Amino acid sequence: MIFKILLFSLFLSFFAHAHEINMEDKNVEQIVKQRMSNMSKIKAYSQKMYPLTMSGEFEEIKQLNDELLHIAKEFILLFPDGSQGGKASSLIWEDRETFELFNNNFISSIEDIDESINDEDSVSLVENFNIMASNCGTCHKKFRN
Ligand code: HEC
């Protein structure tokens, strides 16, 4: 019986966390460190992409853009309650709705780049890259100290 209950609770906790990063074993300091690291990678990938946008090297851009998308999707999960710290403005926890909107706009702009890559359309690729890059300042102005 106890074994069954154990199995069942394991099963439940698997589903509860399947789509989240496992943050239970992480303290606030580690979470802050991870989101800073995600942002540093976002900067590195977007800087690598920029000179390639006009090169027609769609395969190489796609690889970088996929990484960018993955890391941006993870970034939004790194702000659980009580994880105030680093350069993250406390506004993030006071106005989650706007913070999530800014993150979602950023993610959509990366997905738009992906479409341009699939179409092998350099003109819309440059346009969408610039839109993606404009999200950095918009979010930092409001949500980064
Ligand atoms: C939706 C909001 C948002 C978007 C979009 C965003 N950032 Fe950030 N960024 C933040 C926040 C919040 C921090 C502070 C995180 C912390 O210190 O806990 C940050 C921190 C940083 C840092 C400092 C990392 C460190 O190690 O301290 C860099 C560099 C950075 N962002 C670059 C970028 C670039 C480049 C882009 C666009 C390609 C971008 N960010 C898009 C919110 C955003």
Say how many Å lie between the CA of residue 3 and the centre of ligand 1. Answer: 45
With pLDDT > 90 as the criterion, what percentage of the chain qualifies? 82
Say how many Å lie between the CA of residue 4 and the centre of ligand 1. Answer: 45
Under the banding of pLDDT at 50, 70 and 90, the label for residue 42 is very high
* Any ligand 1 atom below 6 A from CB of 41: no
- pLDDT(79) > 70: yes
Looking at residues 94-106, what average pLDDT do you find? 98
Q: Do the beta carbons of residue 71 and residue 40 sit within 8 Å?
A: no
pLDDT computed for residue 90 by the predictor? 97
Give the Cβ contact number of residue 107 at 10 Å. Answer: 18
Tell me the two tokens of residue 68.
Answer: 């960018």
| Dihedral of the alpha carbons of 105, 63, 77, 21, in degrees to the nearest 10 | 160
pLDDT computed for residue 26 by the predictor? 81
Q: How far is CA 121 from the centre of its chain?
A: 25
Ligand 1 atom having least distance to the Cα of 103: 1
Nearest CA residue ID for atom 12, ligand 1: 88
With pLDDT > 70 as the criterion, what percentage of the chain qualifies? 83
* Any ligand 1 atom below 6 A from CB of 36: yes
CA angle 134, 136, 139 (to 5 degrees): 110
Nearest CA residue ID for atom 31, ligand 1: 39
pLDDT computed for residue 17 by the predictor? 46
pLDDT computed for residue 16 by the predictor? 46
Of 115, 144, 143, the closest CA to residue 129 belongs to 115
Cα–Cα distance for residue pair 48/116, rounded to 1 Å: 17
Q: What is the pLDDT of residues 2-19, one digit of tens each?
A: 555 555 555 545 444 444
Say how many Å lie between the CA of residue 121 and the centre of ligand 1. Answer: 28
Give the Cβ contact number of residue 9 at 10 Å. Answer: 10
* Any ligand 1 atom below 6 A from CB of 102: yes
Amino acid identity of residue 47, one-letter, is: Q
